Amino acid sequence: MKKYVKMRFNADIENVTFARGTVASFLINEDLTLNEMNEIKTIVSEAITNAIVHGYSEDATKEVDFEIILENKILTLIVEDKGIGIEDVAKAREPLFSTKLETERAGLGFTIMEIFSDELKIESELGKGTKVIAKKSIK
């Protein structure tokens, strides 16, 4: 059976905590280890923070779409913004690359998402936004 939730919230950095709590609640009955749950919450944190900080430059009047899908023990997390987009996705995936180094961003968001995901897809178009799709098998 497919379980899912889809939501939209304003691009306020405080909503990262809300999204982490939402995914934890969604998966509460899946008997995950603490480590597995922390990895999933970290993927969510990184993807939503990227949308807010990089996609929208922390403009809380903008909106982030967040979708959680669980089907056949495959968790799919989708985070989408309609922000500035990414000029070079391959470059953005490189460890330590950041467009916001002046704000002490480490440039590890995509790297961390890749480590904790089984599959990470990034779709982006300049001026139209970015969609991050992370998949993870759960036991």
Q: What sign has the CA pseudo-torsion 41, 42, 44, 45?
A: positive
Q: The tokens of 79 are what?
A: 């985070």
Residue tagged active-site, from 36, 39, 46, 80: 46
- Rounded to the nearest 10°, the torsion over CA 130, 10, 13, 91 is 10
Residue tagged active-site, from 30, 105, 114, 123: 105
For this structure, is 105 an active site residue? yes
Q: Give me the DSSP letters along 21-42.
A: HHHHHHTGGG---HHHHHHHHH
Residue tagged active-site, from 50, 72, 102, 123: 50
Query: Residues 6 or more apart from 78 whose CB is under 8 A from it?
Result: 65, 66, 67, 68, 69, 131, 132, 133, 134
For this structure, is 50 an active site residue? yes
Question: Which residues lie across from 78 on neighbouring strands?
Answer: 67, 133
Q: The tokens of 51 are what?
A: 């949308």
Catalytic residues: 46, 50, 105
